[in-house]
Amino acid sequence: MFAWKVFALISVCAALLWQGRPAYALAYLLLLFFFAAPLVLEKSGQRLVVERGSKERFLFPGDEALVSLEVRNPTLFPFAWVSVQDSIPSNLVKGARAIRPVFTLGPRQSREVTFPLLARERGVYRLGPLRLFVGDFFGISTCQFQPAEGETVVVYPQILPLPELALPSRLPFGSLKALERINPDPTRLAGVRPYQAGDPLRTIHWPATARTQGLQVKQFEHTVTVNCMILLDLFEGDYEVSRFFVATERAVTTAASLAAHIIKQGEACGLAANAVLSEYWPERTDLSHDTGLIQMRARQGTQQLSALLSVLAGVQPQGHKDFLSLLGESREYVDGVSILLWVVPVDTPELVAAAGRFVQQGQKVLIFAVEKVIHHSLVAVPPNSSLQVFAVSQGGELQP
């Protein structure tokens, strides 16, 4: 390029000295091509606008989606070709490689570009940085620009029906009938009975009263809503090296499936995990995540399920805090909870001993071992026992 520029300058000198339109024409052309055109290309390229269709996207494993980008040329300069390269993580690329779209962009034109995505594994991924290449019509220069736009893609963990995890489909979650009849649940009508003196007027069942021609009052069930807390162990040292990836992913899948099951029952569910969050996890105010510790209070509703799944999409194992530290540091979150669901690789004696202490405080502990079960006697206990161990295996087969 340097030689061409020198040639252009020489031609300018020659035109100035020898005059005449032919010499000036050559000088103008060379100045236009080797000085003005690259400059205009760069300046116009800097003004290209790239907008993403969305900032965040949520997918389940196996889902396909299209990422759309709009490239707009607000200038009067026509771009011979525009090439877009989006940095798509390999776990999201559909096909063998990410596509590289090329198109032309005339003055004041805009073009929509789409990239197909296939969610392969759970995780929180960042699309971008986006690289935009532009070129002229004569191959003189090309320019590269990097718009700051990015997009977060959250791939939730897989949610399996409980039988597929070799778990009983009717786990004792949710509202339990209270032994002490002091908390009538106005949402659960048990029946009607004749009015007795002292019954509050608002409990009178007027249709039944009209039908029977005698005052009838509503009889409610007496229930206690239990809060559930999932405690997920993602301490690297607790997992066997040879099955590390499979076991940790199964632990996350188990936690997600349990959370989905509990919240679909209409109960509250929280999460505590000794894990780190993915680098790209979007900031949330309802989440406490110090280094190596993630805690979410128990709440009900689909919003809570969505938040839980988003967190579980981004959790990664860590090597600093073990499960017992997690139990110690999550006291504030665990204390008011009725049922604790521990998702751990192995039900070690230390864990079972710690679970015993929680049981003594009146809480129920269900241990889900994703790698191996040591205390087989705790697997075979009656369904309503306060301490139970479940062997989890993906695919539904029971662990030996």
Partner 1 sequence: MTAKGYLPALAGVFTASALYLCAQYLSLLFAPLTLPSWLWPFVLASALESAYYAAYFLGPRTPFTVRLLELALWLVPIFLLAGRELSVFLWPALLTLVSWLVARGWGMQLVRMEKVADVLGDQAASTVSWEYESLTSRSQDDLALGFFWRRLLGFGAVVVTLATLVYRSGLVEGSLSVLLKLQATVAGASGLALLGGAYLFRLQILWSYAKAVVDPGLTRAWFRNLALILLFVVALVHLAPVNYSPITAETVAGLAARLFQPKIELPQLEEPVPGEGPSLSWAEQAVPQPEDLGIMGLALAIAAFLLLVLFVTVLLAAFGFIVIQLTKGELERLRGLPKLAVEIYAALRRAAAKVLAALRGLKISLPLGKRVKLPGMRPPGGGEQPSRRRFPSLDKGVRALLRRIARQAGKKGLRFRASQTPREFGQLLQGKLEHSEELVEQFFQGYHLARYSGHQLSGAQEEEVVAAGTELLQRIQTWEGDSKS
Closest CA to 88 of 118, 44, 43, 56: 118
Measured between alpha carbons, how far is 93 from 351 in angstroms, rounded to an integer? 41
Widest CA span in the chain: 121
> How far apart are CB 302 and partner 1 at their closest, in Å?
38
Which of 80/224 has CB closer to partner 1? Answer: 80
> Which of these, 300, 317, 295, lies nearest to 241 by C-alpha position?
317
Closest approach of Cβ 399 to partner 1, in Å?
42
Terminal-to-terminal C-alpha distance of the chain: 72
- As beta bridge partners, residue 290 has 293
Q: Which of 180, 218, 224 is nearest to 202 (CA)?
A: 218
Q: Which is nearer to partner 1, 10 or 189 (CB)?
A: 10
Which residues is 224 bridged to in the sheet? Answer: 176
Tokens (6 digits) for 69 = 């980008």
124 three-state secondary structure? strand
Q: Closer to partner 1 by CB, 115 or 323: give it.
A: 115
Helix axes 244-264, 302-314, angle to 10 degrees: 170
| Shorter beta-carbon distance to partner 1: residue 26 or 166 | 26
Closest CA to 353 of 331, 383, 323, 320: 323
Task: Name the minimum Å distance from CB 54 to partner 1.
Answer: 21
What is the contact surface with partner 1 in residues (CB under 8 A)? 1-2, 4-5, 7, 9-11, 13-26, 28-30, 32, 35, 38-39, 42, 78, 80-81, 83, 85, 97, 99-104, 106, 111, 133, 135, 137-142, 144
Choose between 2 and 331: whose C-beta lies nearer to partner 1.
Answer: 2
Q: Which of 119, 362, 367 is nearest to 258 (CA)?
A: 367
**CB 352, CB 326: distance < 8 Å:** no
Whose Cβ is closer to partner 1: residue 138's or residue 179's?
138
Min separation Cβ 9 and partner 1, Å: 7
Q: How far is the CB of 80 from partner 1 (least distance, A)?
A: 6
The nearer residue to partner 1, 38 or 172, going by C-beta atoms, is 38
Q: In the complex with partner 1, which residue's Cβ is closer, 76 or 380?
A: 76
CB 98, min distance to partner 1, A: 8
> Shortest gap between Cβ of 11 and partner 1 (angstroms)?
8
Shortest Cβ 31–partner 1 spacing (Å):
10
d(CA 97, CA 99): 6
Q: Which CB, 11 or 393, lies closer to partner 1?
A: 11
* Min separation Cβ 52 and partner 1, Å: 18
Q: In the bound complex, what is the minimum distance in angstroms from residue 125's beta carbon to partner 1?
A: 19
Cβ atoms < 10 Å from Cβ of 49: 12
- Cα separation, 263 vs 303, in Å, equals 10
Q: Please state the separation of Cα 217 from the chain's center in Å.
A: 48
Distance CA 179, CA 132 (A): 67
User: Strand (E) positions, 172-262?
Assistant: 176-177, 184-194, 216-224, 227-232
Which of 106/301 has CB closer to partner 1? 106
